[in-house]
Structure 1
Amino acid sequence: MNQATHAEEHLSQDRLPPPEFAMCFTSTPRGARLARRLVAHRLAEWGHSYDSDANETVTLIAAELTANAVRHGHVPGRDFHLRLTAMPHLLRVEVADTRGERAPGLNTPDSPPFDAESGRGLLLVAQLADRWGVAPREAAPGRCVWAELDLQSPR
């Protein structure tokens, strides 16, 4: 192989879109559990081993976002959608559901009362992610909650 061919291969690989996993899941606890497991599996396939900080952190973020989609974004007969994207120095997880009227606020959530049995999901996401937010769902009713993890930031 000559140098020109090798350089063309390298350039074409740089232009490839980042690895992405996207799938719809039933808006049930079982769907949320499956989404969490597939996030961990896909990250491991992309080189972030199951016991790595990146895999554990993004899997926990995905678990919280999918649980919220099931609990707060459930519309009977509608699924939630998960997208996981791996860029060179960033992992991004997005969870979209069809209920747009109950979108969470963008401020860091307040801690729930000490004896509360729920209400800590977005607090965990805010603490674990480098950035997170809420956006309207593209081309469909609902909202998308996303979170990003910088792979170069110290944990």
Structure 2
Amino acid sequence: MGAETVPAFGLLGRTDLPGVAGSVCSARRFVRGVLENSGWRDTYDAELLVSELVSNAVRHSKSGRAGGRVTVAVANRGDTIRIAVIDEGSSTCAPRLPAEPDEDAEGGRGLWLVREVALSWGWHEGTAGRGRVVWFQLAWR
């Protein structure tokens, strides 16, 4: 891939969203726009995975409380992009990847899907114990 098809290394975009279910659609639209403006050809996987992570953030962290927020950041990492979802954390719930998803359950497949589709993924507590960051990387397309 030539340098002319890959934008300069670094942050491509960042947005803060309310910690509500409706923000899943906003996160997808934001990621699609940032990637398309950067020359990305196929945004489907990125949109799917950011939907899962924002949904988890709203459902399982303090971001889902009244006034809560979720941040989505998209960065160029050279030959990959990295998308991070930053929530307000939880003292009772940490990201957990089931060995195999329950096919009959209504949920519980989000992180499994991220693991299956992304090149890599992970999570860590935010700086100074504030919030949590869950991220994934995809190959530049």
TM-score, normalization: structure 2?
0.83
What displacement does 1:57 show? 1.2
Q: Higher strand proportion, which one?
A: 2
- Residue of structure 1 in register with 2:118 after alignment: 129
The equivalent position to 1:88 in structure 2, one of 46, 55, 78, is: 78
2:54 partner letter: T
Deviations 1:36-93 (A, max 9, x none): 11101110000013xx2xx211111111111111111223322011111123301101
Gaps in structure 2 of 5+ consecutive residues = 1-7
1: distance between equivalents of 2:51 and 2:103? 22
Question: Displaced runs of 4+ in structure 1, greater than 3 A?
Answer: none
Q: What secondary structure, in the 3-state scheme, does the structure 2 residue paired with 1:29 have?
A: coil
Aligned-pair identity (%): 31
Is 1:65 equivalent to 2:53 in the alignment? yes
**Between Structure 1 and Structure 2, whose CA radius of gyration is higher?**
1
Show the counterpart of 1:9.
Answer: none
1:91-129 alpha-carbon deviations (Å, 9 max, x no partner): 101001112321113xx5322322111111111000011
CA-atom RMSD, angstroms? 1.8
Q: Which runs of 5+ in 1 are unaligned?
A: 1-15
Matched, 1:26 2:18: yes
Q: Which residue in 2 is equivalent to 1:109?
A: 98
Asked which structure has the greater RCO (Cα within 8 Å, sep 6+), the reply is 2
TM-score (norm 1): 0.76
Alpha-carbon distance between aligned partners in 2 of 1:97 and 1:19, rounded to the nearest angstrom: 18
- 3-state SS of the aligned residue for 1:112? coil
